[in-house]
Structure 1
Amino acid sequence: MTVKSAERVIDILDLLKDVREGMTLKEIADSLSLPQSSTFHLLNTMESKGFLIVTERRSYKLGPKLIQIGTKAIETLDINSEAQPYLRRLMEKVEETVFMAVLIEQELVYVAKVDNPRSVLTSAQIGMRKPIYCTGLGKAFLAFLPESMKDRILANVDMHAVTEKTITSRLSLNNQLSLFRQQGYAVDDEENESGLYCLASPVFNASGEMVAAISVSGPKNRVYSRQAEIVEELTKTALQISERAGFTKGG
């Protein structure tokens, strides 16, 4: 059983989502074969609640309330649980530790870890926060976030040496990030943990915004010698997770 007024509200929203300049009361009523009187009351109610706005030419357009609802809907898409089968499959193919992290208030936070039986012990654990400038996951964010956001984050970061290989020069890091952006993945070459080599790739949402990063980590001699093979599987998995979140490549 459906409620007719609710159906009409949905039909109106669905109609207006594809008409950027908006539509008049008559245009909406005619398009949906509805009486103008009842359509007028529906539109007025939707406008009063912020679901629609009215332009100077009395056209109705989608309103700001829908942005809030859409944002909440995106947030409820649990990228972690959606990614789990893909992360496990990646681990099985590359036989190394696989991680996923998100950015929370400009800090890198690990949200998933899938160990392989031959995995080496690393300090990174789920829930842990790590430096953004010297981890593969962090560098993936810095490389693929908008330039202004990257600069804002780095302005508040103290780039101290974590290992003897940590890059502490802002200029050197920016040059490296440009390369990562071109090649589609980031690299941490023993910069956060000695002996550990990490490859990381970005995950995007339906709006094309970077929402997470995934990585493959292991002993340098093992990962470096198989880098081309691992990168292929890593970037393919990142794209699959992105598509699961609504991302369309080239869209």
Structure 2
Amino acid sequence: MSSLVAAAPAAPLPLHEKSTASKPVLPGVALEAYSGDPNFMASLARGLVVIEAFTPQSPQMTISQLSQRTGLSRAAVRRCLYTLVKLGFAGADEAQRYSLRPKMLTLANTYTASSTLANAAQPILERMSASYKESFSVATLDGEEIVYIARTTMTRVMSVDLHIGSRLPAFCTSMGRVLLAYLPQDQLEHFLARLQLVQYTPRTVNSKEKLRLILRNVRRNGYALCDQEYEVGLRSIAVPVFAGNGRVVATVNLSGHAPRMPMLEMQTRFLPPLRAAASELSVFLR
């Protein structure tokens, strides 16, 4: 979960951006910048800093590890974790290694419920599903993954149960490739530098150079088509959703079973309505 602590108006940089000339300032230490603000709730901020410390690379940590990562005292970390555990947002194993719990998704759901894009997307997807009897989705990019912010399901097209808040790898999914293809070059290079290619199926792209070529083609064609790269039997097609400034902020996709959905049909039958839906969504971003 990223950027949960918002910067105060006309105040120092957000916690994750503050730094000194000598070394980065830990998030917990950066909270001292708000010590003179009577409206700043330090205990809430410390809890958010602890939540943000968990990452896919470090999903489980002890109190000591969290203290080192956040710059908060062990006592402060312990109180934050105690509260998160009591509320069901975190838990610990027998070795006292803490991790976030699924209830954390309720925070994401609250975001999507208040998101203009998510609210606008859902009825559009439902209308498309009613017309075509297929499953449609809208997603955004978060790090190396896509996150579903709106979805309709007519049939189960994947072995996993996808829903709002679900995350999938960006590099081998049609929605992820659309979002990657329109990234500024420096951001794309940063993504590729840290990307670990996972062979999900025999068709999954297996080199970064091949992925670069695919992304160039996606940008040139204005859509991405994935054929069974994340899961055998699954095909999907996605198009970009542009904001008013020309930046791609989301993507709309159709996914279906490969045996009943030929590649040509995806391009000829479904590409036009997907582009129409993306254009309709773009209006809400201007």
TM range (shorter): 0.5 to 0.7
1:182 has 2:220 as partner: yes
Residue among 133, 156, 159 paired with 2:194? 156
Instruction: Note if 1:244 corresponds to 2:281.
Output: no
How is 1:59-74 mapped onto 2 (pairs within 5 angstroms)? none
1:173 aligns with 2:242: no
- Letter of the structure 1 residue corresponding to residue 177 of structure 2: K
SS in 2 for 1:84: helix
Is this contact kept in 2: 1:99–1:113, CA < 8 A? yes
- Which of residues 68, 92, 95 in structure 1 aligns to 2:133? 95
What's 1:235 paired with? 275
Q: Partner amino acid for 1:242?
A: S
SS in 1 for 2:229: coil
CA root-mean-square deviation: 1.7
Partner letter of residue 200 of structure 1? Answer: A
For the residues of structure 2 that align with 1:128 and 1:190, how far apart are their CA atoms?
A: 19
CA contact 2:158–2:234 (8 Å) conserved in 1: no
Task: Tell me, yes or no, if the aligned pair for 1:96 and 1:119 is still in contact at 8 Å.
Answer: no
Q: Tell me the SS of whatever aligns to 1:226.
A: helix
Could you tell me the TM-score, scaled by structure 1's length? 0.63
Gaps of 5+ in 2: 1-113
Q: Which runs of 5+ in 1 are unaligned?
A: 1-75, 247-251
Contact map agreement 2:242 2:249 (CA 8 A) in 1? yes
- Equivalence for 1:217: 255
Letter in 1 for 2:265: R
1:189 Cα offset (Å)? 0.7
- 1:166-190 Cα shifts (integer Å, max 9, x gaps): 0021111111111111111111110
The partner residue of 1:133 within 141, 150, 171 is 171
* 1:120 and 2:120 correspond: no
Cα distance, 1:119 vs. partner? 4.5
Query: Match for 1:204 among 232, 235, 242?
Result: 242
Taking structure 2 as the reference length, the TM-score comes to 0.56
Equivalent residue number for residue 18 of structure 1 = none
1:39 alignment partner in structure 2:
none
Structure 1 residue 151 displacement after superposition: 1.6
Aligned residues: 170
Separation in 1, partners of 2:156, 2:167: 21
Kindly indicate whether residue 268 of structure 2 is the aligned counterpart of residue 226 of structure 1: no
For each residue in 1:14-68, what CA deviation from the matched residue of structure 2 results, as whole angstroms up to 9, or x when unmatched? xxxxxxxxxxxxxxxxxxxxxxxxxxxxxxxxxxxxxxxxxxxxxxxxxxxxxxx
Matched residues, percent identical? 31
Greater shift, 103-112 or 189-198, is seen at 103-112
Q: Deviations over 1:91-124 (max 9, x none)?
A: 22332111111112443111221012x4434423
1:146 paired residue number: 184
Q: Which has the larger radius of gyration?
A: 1
Query: Residues 13-28 of structure 1 correspond to what in structure 2 (within 5 A)?
Result: none
Report which structure shows greater RCO (CA 8 Å, sep ≥6).
Answer: 1
Distance (Å, rounded) in 1 between the aligned partners of 2:198 and 2:255: 22
Counterpart of 2:185, as a letter, is E
